[in-house]
Amino acid sequence: MKPNKKTVRLRDIALKAGVSVNTVSRALRNKPDVSEHTRTTIVRLAEELGYPLPPPPLDTAKPLTIGVLIQDILNPYYANIVQGIEQVLWQERANFLFGCSYRQESRERDVFAFLCQQQIDGLLIGSVVNPDYILSQLAHIQLPVTGISQRFQACEIDYVVGDNYHGAFLATDHLIGLGHTRIAHIAGLDMQSSAGERWRGYQDALRQAGIPCDQRLLRTSDNTIESGYYLTKDLLQSIDDLTAIFAYNDLLALGAFRAIREARLHVPTDISVVGYDDIVFTEFFEVPLTTVYQPVLEIGRKAAELLFERIRRGYHHDLQHIVLRPRLTIRSSTSICPRK
């Protein structure tokens, strides 16, 4: 459905009709528990105010069409998310429209607008570059939406995420247990809720161990291999006593490996490295990567299942926020801290 350019909201109609927002929503969706008089009044007010009325009920024989917006299909993490979504779509015999922002805010807006203008029955949204803009637009459309890998707490939508705080705490605590105290964190995009949650997990693990949190050890990335490479080069040049790196994701860790090698250092003899996500090829790195495993396929599947449940049951049942626990996968890229 198209976003409402006049920014008329359900509560505007509810105020004029003297009913609740829930009653307006149910009347516009032709639910049977709304009287005909109330329904007629609400529809008339919606038309007068310029609120876009929902389309007629779908033909049950017609397959549903789902929109999917993610950051980057070239990132194995998002590829696995889409694989999980696709498994559910196949079971449901549903179609889907798919778009990537590639971490570009203008492209993200264009893809979001395009998907909303199509005759889609629901929308799945992965981690977005500008969540404030997306949330402001979601308030103007009547469309079932489920968030993936990002908490959308300012808007009433379902979402499925991993426990990023716990995963980051596990990663940092593992390095501390090996004797490391000079642990850098290459963080993710500032706008992503997961980046903030992992940063807090890293900080709290240090604090719990009585280790000062040195801001000079923090770098903010764009989640790519190239970013991991250049930020690690900077860390190695500016921090003499660095012994470990906790990267926001495995792609950053891969870039870190190259920078460490070019500095004529070795993983893990000189620098221990921990990634996040446990994407498909981490065990085949030049040194198999210690990383935080996320049930990525399950995140994609559960998000799609929640969306279909929302489409079938409507807006009247409780929101569902599912948080899945990660686990630490220990491989060869971490070892006891060297003396420096």
Report residue 159: phi and psi, to 5°.
-155, 160
Mean pLDDT of 270-289: 95
Closest CA relative to residue 77, chosen from 331, 322, 253: 253
What is the predicted pLDDT for the residue at 55? 59
Of the given ranges (8-17, 149-158, 281-290, 298-307), which has the lowest mean pLDDT? 149-158
In tens, the pLDDT along 157-191 reads 899 999 999 999 999 999 999 999 999 999 998 77
Higher pLDDT among residues 340 and 9, named by residue: 9
What is the predicted pLDDT for the residue at 43? 87
The answer to whether the CB of 150 falls within 8 A of the CB of 78 is no
Q: What is the mean pLDDT of the chain?
A: 90
CA distance 27 to 326: 42
Mean pLDDT of 142-162: 86
The SS3 of residue 219 is: strand
CA distance 78 to 51: 35
The SS3 of residue 256 is: helix
Dihedral of CA atoms 224, 75, 105, 118 in degrees, nearest 10, equals: 180
Q: What is the CB-side half-sphere exposure of residue 98 using CA atoms within 13 A? A: 14
What domains appear along the chain, each with residue ranges and CATH number? 10-49 (no CATH), 65-162+296-325 (3.40.50.2300), 165-294 (3.40.50.2300)
Exposed e or buried b per residue across 97-127, where buried means at least 16 C-beta atoms within 10 angstroms of its C-beta: bbbbbebeeeebbebbeebbeeebbbbbbbb
What is the predicted pLDDT for the residue at 35? 84
In tens, the pLDDT along 63-120 reads 899 999 999 988 999 999 999 999 999 999 999 899 999 989 999 999 999 998 888 9
The SS3 of residue 183 is: strand
In tens, the pLDDT along 206-254 reads 999 999 999 999 999 999 999 999 999 999 999 999 999 999 999 999 9
Is pLDDT of 3 > 50?
no
pTM above 0.75, yes or no: yes
What is the predicted pLDDT for the residue at 61? 60
Amino acid at 278: D
What is the predicted pLDDT for the residue at 5? 45
Higher pLDDT among residues 36 and 204, named by residue: 204
CA distance 164 to 169: 8
Q: Describe the strand order of the beta sheet including 327-329 as a list of residue ranges.
A: 218-220, 183-187, 244-247, 272-277, 290-293, 327-329
Contacts of 12 (CB under 8 A, 6+ apart): 49, 51
Say if residue 56 is preceded by a cis peptide, omega within 30 of 0: no
What is the predicted pLDDT for the residue at 4? 41
Q: What is the CB-side half-sphere exposure of residue 212 using CA atoms within 13 A? A: 4
The angle at the Cα of 137, spanning 135 to 139, to the nearest 5 degrees, equals 75
Mean pLDDT of 15-38: 82
